[in-house]
Structure 1
Amino acid sequence: MAIDQTGDHFMNTFHQGRSLKSAIRLALAFCALIMLSSVPTFAQATKGNIRGTVADPNGQVIAGATVTAKNQNTGVESSTVTTGDGLFVIPELIPGQYTVTVESTAGFSKKAVTDVSVGIGAATNLPIVLAVGSPTEVVTVTSSGEELTIQRDESQIAATFDTRKIQDLPSNAAAGGLDTIALMAPGVIANNSGGVNTNGSGLSVNGNRARSNNFQIDGSDNNDLSVAGPANFIDNQDAVQEYQVITNNFSAQYGRNQGAVINIVTKSGTNDFHGSLFWFHRDRKNFDSLDNIEKASGQTDPNPSLFNVFGGTVGGPVYLPHFGEGGPTYISGKDRMFFFFSYQGVRNPSSSTFRSTSLGILNSEFPRLTSTFPGNAVISDIANFSTFAIPGASVNSTILGTPIPTAFNLAP
């Protein structure tokens, strides 16, 4: 009996130990998930806010009024109440168009302002005047967008480009990288010799080096820690919601570099299904003309180069199946859950002609060249890694050039 009791006690202790270890592992995994999910929010700015005052027709402030901002694409709402001074702030709003509704129980009619724009890291100033009337009456006005013309609450200098500008402006070619659009901001010039990664163009801002810029995507760091510049390249125009270049007087949440801050916010799904398809085609041989060097060399047509960029996007609400008895057969994600998918492919079959004023070496002469100068590192590089060593490459013998002096001719 003692042996059985001891065995039962051992088994109970063993199972309790396993349960405790499983609980500890689950708690650690949950803490790690929370930490990882909150990392991108530190010291980043991918959202904006709406602030302002609520007053009556005589200019007297109205306290206790309910102010609600509703995203016109997703239906997500954020609300607040005006202070004793009639002030309100609705923070953490994703960039887009909003409808701002103000309600008061003090004998004023309800007012709704549509098409209020919110940008990246921007504070939209929206003063609202309520009309005297019944709370059941609704006065609807459309915002003119002038509230974004002057930023009274920020000293930073920035240029923001919305979806339409990104897609329509001719500054960024298909699959050519989005950073070329930053060249439209004051104080930004191209710098492609800075020895850094470039997403279309290197950027020198206010005289700083190309290494001095800070790149972010959706609030996450996008800096290449080895050679500087962006780590991930974004050139799909249809996938970007807003592009912002901050050139001076950064807000407190930014740091790291003294050049520019490049913010890219990607699109998200909405309450409606939307999508796009695109295909950009370029045919250099049939649609381009010869340049001066090609004309001088005797070419009759440009080198063949077919450049095709194709892809699409799709986004909308998420619908999930509903399990169990009763209720709807599916769960609608409208106003709650959304998805967005984008794809872009690039195909560029082409042929190139390399020209040089140096001597041309036939592939058949490589063995004799290496045997004549054994162990010579320069000769070895020429025979293995030069342009003439490319498989399939051949010296153009149809165009007369400068005769090779006898001193450099390897022929006996």
Structure 2
Amino acid sequence: MRLLPVLSAAAALLALAPPGFGQAGKAELFGAIQDPAGLAVANARVAGEEQATGARIEVTSDARGDYHLLGLAAGRYVLTVEKPGFRPHRQTGITLRIGDQTQLNIRLELGQASQSVAVNAETSLLETANGSVDSHVSQTEIEKLPLDGRNFIPLVALSPGVALPGGGSLLPRINGSRPRTNEYLYDGISVLQPEPGQVAFYPIIDAMEEFRLNINAYSPEYGRSNGGTVMVIGKSGTNQFHGTLFEFFRNEALNARNYFAQPGPKPEFRRNQYGLTLGGPIRANKTFFFAAWQGTRLRTGITRQSVVPTVAQRRGVFRAAIYDPATSP
């Protein structure tokens, strides 16, 4: 029975392996823990808890009083700080977006553990930890702004230095770069096909939480491309069941007539996009699920223009001489 020792060794290696965090698209929360005099507080226990899922990450401040919470999913957090001899500190209203690096310094107050300090304050959206130029588009903007075809890519053009090339091409030019030089990350995973610049798929709008566009001077972890980086984070399950049921449609009855269309009924144009999303808990604060589906039906009548012989020409009557271009001088 050689299988048992192998499984035991593999289990031991997994148990000893340190935890790792996928950094692409994850947020960071860091700062300094200080006493009322502004001096560093070492060995303070700092915990960040995501309110929707109850996910909790704990660290301890170092000798300089610094703490650093890594690999945080975008969402709303509660930060608690505890240290013997000081009142427990609890701060709510902390919103972290995709890829944020937010600094939050905490000043503790002297007192007993039975006395706590509660703070409800929004964190600043100004990032001072890096010099990158980026743009965020929130879930509300994604869902409310009009989109032809229910594709989020046109929203990228809301950022400065970004243009859609047109001519049937969907992918944007960022800071003058070619469309195929951009990187696309969905939940930290590249979705580019082997052919440069070809995006494998586009997420369902109702399944997107937010997205971020790195325009210039971004971190080396996004340095695979020499254009911009489009990072999308999808929705996830939470401790509450939630979902949507949607349909968007276009119909020729609501469209203006094509200028070149023949008299009579308008050419048919009917597009229906429908679907649903559903998420919730499998085990509270532990395991969640989220699923999304979308279908599209499209029927269109196309107006075309072409040159056809007149009635006289079909009878062989021509007003001018006819030459064979293959043999005529």
Q: What is the TM-score with the length of structure 1 in the denominator?
A: 0.68
8 Å Cα contact 2:183/2:224 also seen in 1? yes
Compared CA separation, residues 269 and 402, structure 1 to 2 (3 A): farther
Map 1:248-327 to 2 at 5 A. 248-283=216-251, 285-294=252-261, 298-318=262-282
Distance 1:299 1:403, change over 3 A: farther
Percent identical pairs in the alignment equals 27
1:8-407 to 2 correspondences below 5 Å: 20=2, 45-106=24-85, 108-146=86-124, 148-149=125-126, 151-170=127-146, 172-173=147-148, 175-193=149-167, 201-226=170-195, 228-234=197-203, 236-283=204-251, 285-294=252-261, 298-318=262-282, 333-356=283-306, 358-359=307-308, 406=318, 407=322
CA–CA separation in structure 2 for the residues paired with 1:54 and 1:401:
91
Counterpart-to-counterpart distance in 2, 1:121 and 1:203: 21
In the alignment, residue 275 of structure 2 is paired with which amino acid? G
**Matched residue SS, 2:221:** coil
2:184/2:192 contact within 8 Å kept: yes
* Contact map agreement 2:276 2:293 (CA 8 A) in 1: yes
Higher relative contact order (CA 8 A, sep 6+): 2
Report deviation, 1:59: 2.4
Mapped contact 1:167–1:237 kept (Cα < 8 A) = yes
Cα pair distance change 1:276/1:359, threshold 3 Å: same
> Cα gap change, 1:130/1:23 in structure 2, threshold over 3 Å: closer, same or farther?
closer
| Alpha-carbon contact 1:289-1:301 (below 8 Å) kept | no
Task: Give the structure with the larger helix fraction.
Answer: 1
Q: Which residue of structure 2 lines up, in the alignment, with residue 378 of structure 1?
A: none
Which whole-Å CA distance do the structure 1 matches of 2:291 and 2:50 have between them?
20
TM-score of the superposed pair, with normalisation by structure 2: 0.84
Q: Which amino acid aligns with 1:119?
A: R
Q: CA-to-partner distance for each residue in 1:336-360, whole Å, 9 max, x for gaps? A: 111101111111223222223x447
Cross-structure match for 1:15 = none
Gaps of 5+ in 2: 15-19, 324-329
Does the CA-based 8 Å contact 2:135-2:214 persist in structure 1? yes
**Alignment deviations for residues 40-99 of structure 1 (CA, whole Å, 9 cap, x no partner):** 977x51211110112233323322221110001000100111122221101011111111
CA distance in 2, matches of 1:41, 1:128: 25
Change (3 A) 1:116 1:41: closer
Higher normalized strand content (fraction of residues)? 2
Cα-Cα RMSD = 2.9
The count of aligned residue pairs is 309
Shift of 1:227: 5.4
2-structure distance, mates of 1:257, 1:117 = 29
What is the distance in 2 between the residues matched to 1:229 and 1:144? 39
- Cα 1:102/1:349, change in 2 over 3 Å: same
The structure having more radius of gyration, on CA atoms, is 1
Q: Distance in 2 between matches of 1:98 and 1:161?
A: 20
Which residue type is aligned with residue 41 of structure 2?
I
CA 1:180 to 1:403, structure 2 compared with 1: closer, same or farther past 3 Å?
farther
Q: Quote the offset at 1:188 in angstroms.
A: 0.6
CA apart distance, 1:243: 0.8
Q: 1:293 to 1:403 in 2, by over 3 A?
A: farther
Distance of 1:58 and 1:312 partners within structure 2: 54
